[in-house]
């Protein structure tokens, strides 16, 4: 059984990532349950998806300390989701901060470096994805969700591999966007391989 939390800021593509993971797991014969944040919070608020893969799961939500994996699209949201991470859980975090309007009005950007430093101290199985590099490789921010899918699948953090993730992509992503997303998946997989080599 895998409990997985996907977190980010509304508009970053978290919902699509959770559906892709669900689809790939379903294709492999697993039962899936999960829950999304849909509605007002999607306008730039914090959004969290819960994905639960395996048999005999009842609730669509994961309890605190119940997640074996957190995929975070943003350092501050990663820290916010930390209470869900199991003590031996893994985390993949995209390091590019999304500015919060409340911080700007308070006189400055929020301290994303402090968030990352805290994650490094707290989470043993942490993969930090370099945002600038990822966006250069994926042609912008649109396919970041799929790059993170590549990191998690190739890193052995999901119950399916990159080839199976690719099948889910091909089934769900419109043809005109497929190339960009396949590139992002390959970039994520390469990044995971680098991590394994280190």
62 counts as binding another protein under rule CB under 8 A = yes
Q: Does 69 bind another protein (CB under 8 A)?
A: no
Instruction: Please report, in angstroms and rounded to a whole number, the separation of the first and last CA atoms in the chain.
Output: 28
Q: Which stretch binds another protein (CB under 8 A): 61-69, 147-155, 177-185, 186-194?
A: 61-69
Please give the C-alpha separations between residue 52 and each of 12, 108, 124, 183, 186, in angstroms, as whole numbers.
21, 38, 22, 27, 25
Does residue 111 bind another protein (CB under 8 A)?
yes
Q: Which of 1, 109, 163, 177 binds another protein (CB under 8 A)?
A: 109
Contacts of residue 181, Cβ cutoff 8 Å, sequence gap at least 6: 143, 146, 169, 173
- For the segment 125-144, give every residue that binds another protein (CB under 8 A): 140-141
- Shortest distance, CB of residue 197 to another protein, whole angstroms? 30
Q: Contacting another protein (CB under 8 A), which of 28, 33, 125, 183?
A: 33
Q: d(Cα 193, Cα 198) in Å, to the nearest integer?
A: 9
Q: How far is the CB of 104 from another protein (least distance, A)?
A: 5
47 forms beta bridges with: 8
Query: What are the tokens at 52?
Result: 């639960």
CA distance 181 to 20: 12
Shortest Å, Cβ 179 to another protein: 20
**Binding residues for another protein (CB under 8 A):** 9-11, 19, 22-23, 26, 30-46, 56, 58-66, 76-77, 79-80, 82-84, 98-105, 107-111, 114-115, 118, 122, 140-141
């Amino acid at each position: 059984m895998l409990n997985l939390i996907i977190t980010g800021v509304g508009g970053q593509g978290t919902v699509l990532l959770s559906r892709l993971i669900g689809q790939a797991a379903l294709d492999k014969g697993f039962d899936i349950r999960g829950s999304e944040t849909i509605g007002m919070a999607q306008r730039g608020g914090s959004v969290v998806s819960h994905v639960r893969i395996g048999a005999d799961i009842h609730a669509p939500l994961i309890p605190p300390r119940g997640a074996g994996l957190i995929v975070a699209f943003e350092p501050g949201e990663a820290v916010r989701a930390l209470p869900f991470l199991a003590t031996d859980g893994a985390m993949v975090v995209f390091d590019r901060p999304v500015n919060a309007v409340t911080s700007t009005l308070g006189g400055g950007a929020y301290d994303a470096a402090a968030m990352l430093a805290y994650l490094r101290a707290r989470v043993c199985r942490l993969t930090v994805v370099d945002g600038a590099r990822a966006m250069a490789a994926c042609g912008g921010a649109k396919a970041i969700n799929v790059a993170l899918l590549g990191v998690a699948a190739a890193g052995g953090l999901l119950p399916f591999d990159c080839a199976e993730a690719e099948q889910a992509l091909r089934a769900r992503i419109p043809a005109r966007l497929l190339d960009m997303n396949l590139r992002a998946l390959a970039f994520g997989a390469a990044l995971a391989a680098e991590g394994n080599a280190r």
